[in-house]
Chain A
Amino acid sequence: MKRTFAILFLGLLAGLGAHIGWFSASAPENPTELGAQLAWMRSSLRLSDEQLLRIRALHEQSAPRLLALAAQVNGMQGELAAFERARQTEGQIDFLEFARFVEERRRLDRECLASTQRLVSAASEVMTPQQRQQYLTLLEPALKMLRGNPSG
């Protein structure tokens, strides 16, 4: 009796140990880090070491510019919220100011789109035609969204 339960317990313990060990053996990296994203690109697109280095350099070069643009977009979202608050509290807004804002926002959206396209294009040039096609297929949903709704 005791032997049977001991074997059952041992089996359960061994199975659980194997499960936890195997599952936690390969905990993924933080997905927001560039290294993890490039590693994913490398495995998805089968990039060579040289291609990976060049693509990493391109992304690192463009990162400050893209971050600055994102900060500007954030600032403009704040301005838009301020216009909306003014409309709700005062019942009116300065239309000249708003028109300037809309124009500025359009310019910024175009700049964002151009920056993204420049980076995608530069990264594509490093790739072989097959890799490029696969890369663009992966990015297609986002690119479509940007082209379809450039104002975000």
Chain B
Amino acid sequence: MPDPTDSDPLDPLLDRLGRQTPLPPAPLGPEVWRRISLAEESARGGFWERFHAVFARPSFAVTFVAACVFLGLFLAEVRRSRRQDDYNRELMQSYLRLIDPLLQAADRPSLAQTGTKS
């Protein structure tokens, strides 16, 4: 059981802190603004540093190149699909011209004109 008469060595220090709070060395406002502007500057410079640091990681570089390849393949597939639709339409029209002489003839008006002129 501790003796209540024994004083804690921290007590005098805590008492003194309450009485003698140290004053800041300079006015606080300008110092705060200085530190904020410093932090902003370091954040601005840090973007490119972070960007290069990310690309310097081999795992990210490989993932980036693979993503570019997949994007290229995806866009090519979209274009192929559109081209296939157009091609199917052309095939359909060509087939109709093949089986229908009237459409065949309508497709060649220039021949009719030439035949008339000669």
Asked if A and B bind, the verdict is yes
Residue of A nearest to B75 (CB): A19
A81 touches B68 (CB 8 A): no
Known interface pairs A15-B71, A74-B111; A34-B87 also in contact (CB < 8 Å): no
Q: Does A102 contact B (CB under 8 A)?
A: no
Q: A11-B64, A18-B69, A78-B116 are in contact. Are A116 and B109 (CB under 8 A)?
A: no
Whether A14 contacts B69 by the Cβ 8 Å rule is yes
Q: How far apart sit A8 and B54, CA to CA, in the bound complex (Å)? A: 12
Q: How far is the CB of B94 from chain A (nearest CB, A)?
A: 5
What is the distance, in angstroms, from B108's C-beta to the closest C-beta of chain A? 6
Using A26-B80, A152-B105 as known contacts, say yes or no to A4 and B52 having CB atoms under 8 A apart.
yes
B56 near A4 with CB under 8 A, answer yes
* A19 and B72 alpha carbons, distance in the complex (Å): 4
The secondary-structure label for the interface of chain B is: helix
Cβ of A23 and Cβ of B79 under 8 Å apart?
yes
Tell which of B12-20, B21-29, B31-39, B96-104 binds the partner: B96-104
Q: A71 CA to B101 CA in the complex, in Å? A: 8
Write the B60-77 contact mask toward A (1 if CB under 8 angstroms, else 0): 010011011111110111
**B65: nearest chain-A partner, CB-CB:** A11
Report yes or no: A4 in contact with B109, Cβ–Cβ below 8 A. Answer: no
Tally chain A residues at the interface, Cβ within 8 Å: 57
A69 within 8 A of B: yes
Tally of B interface residues using CB under 8 Å? 46
Say which residue of A11, A70, A82, A152 sits within 8 Å of B116 (CB atoms): A82
A34 and B97 alpha carbons, distance in the complex (Å): 11
Instruction: Name the contact of A18 in the complex, choosing from B56, B76, B83, B112 (C-beta under 8 A).
Output: B76
A7→B113 CA distance, assembly (Å):
61
Chain B residues near A (Cβ < 8 Å): 51-52, 55-56, 61, 64-65, 67-73, 75-77, 79-80, 83-84, 87-88, 90-96, 98-106, 108-109, 111-113, 115-116
Apart from A15-B71, A22-B80, A77-B105, what 10 extra A-B contacts exist at CB < 8 Å?
A1-B52, A15-B68, A37-B95, A66-B104, A69-B101, A70-B104, A71-B105, A74-B112, A112-B102, A116-B101
Enumerate 22 A-B pairs (CB-CB under 8 Å) in ascending A order.
Answer: A4-B56, A8-B55, A18-B76, A22-B72, A23-B76, A28-B84, A28-B87, A31-B94, A34-B98, A37-B94, A66-B101, A67-B101, A69-B101, A70-B104, A73-B105, A74-B108, A78-B115, A81-B113, A112-B102, A116-B101, A120-B99, A142-B103
